Amino acid sequence: MHIQHFDSEKSLAAAASQIILQAIQKKSDLLLCAATGNTPTATYQALVAQKSLFPAGQLRIFKLDEWGGVPMDHPGTCEAYLQEHLLQPLNIPVDRYFSFHSNPADPQQECARVQERLQQEGPIDLCVLGLGVNGHLAFNEPGAFLQPHCHIAQLTQDSLGHSMAKDMQGAKLYGLTLGMSDILAAREILLLISGPSKVEVTKQLLEAKISSQLPASFLWLHSNVKVLIQ
């Protein structure tokens, strides 16, 4: 695990966007697995600002996870986030974007569909992750065990308190997410950490003690992880 510390969100975003840019320049049809939330926003904005430096139309994007139980056009979905910050600014063709539907008739079948698509398109070349305040990665929540592949996740109160879910009150929310094996199969992983709410969980992560109670700790098992901390 290669760890770098930054003194500002801007400097972290600049470094992270360069890592993504360089990966795309090496492989124009890169399969980028994209996290959502507050932390990666500045990184995506910095990447979009450099879109003239790579053939965006060849890039493939895979959605990491999604809030289940709400319409796809809800402004708090991961879908809405990715459309705003990556897909539309980069003009990603529909056939090069792969995602969970946020309100499927059959969530289990939806997970199976996404898993099959990942097997067809994968492995992931570069997986961009954020760190949950409870140590989750995507919607792989702390627990007695972790699931390897796409699955329905029962969300913890920490996850339900995320700002993306603030306008989803009344919905029976659940998570749709890639599993830990899917994430760890990525050729390269970029973990972005910022904000005062992440200080304690970051300390736990850097102890390098692997536990299903801290899903992010499994990144210590991967041979090509870059961690950028602000």
Q: What is the pLDDT of residues 139-173, one digit of tens each?
A: 999 999 999 999 999 998 888 878 787 777 666 89
Q: What is the pLDDT of residues 164-206, one digit of tens each?
A: 877 776 668 999 999 999 999 999 999 999 999 999 999 999 9
How far lies 230's CA from each of 2, 28, 43, 165, 218, in Å? 14, 29, 13, 24, 21
Q: What CATH number belongs to 2-133+147-199+220-229?
A: 3.40.50.1360
Output the pLDDT for position 162.
82
Of the listed ranges 158-162, 214-218, 220-224, the least confidently predicted one is 158-162
CA dist., res. 75 & res. 168, Å (int): 10
CA dist., res. 2 & res. 190, Å (int): 10
Whether 95 is a known active-site residue: answer: no
CA dist., res. 178 & res. 205, Å (int): 20
pTM as predicted? 0.95
Whether 141 is a known active-site residue: answer: yes
Whether 116 is a known active-site residue: answer: no
Whether 84 is a known active-site residue: answer: no
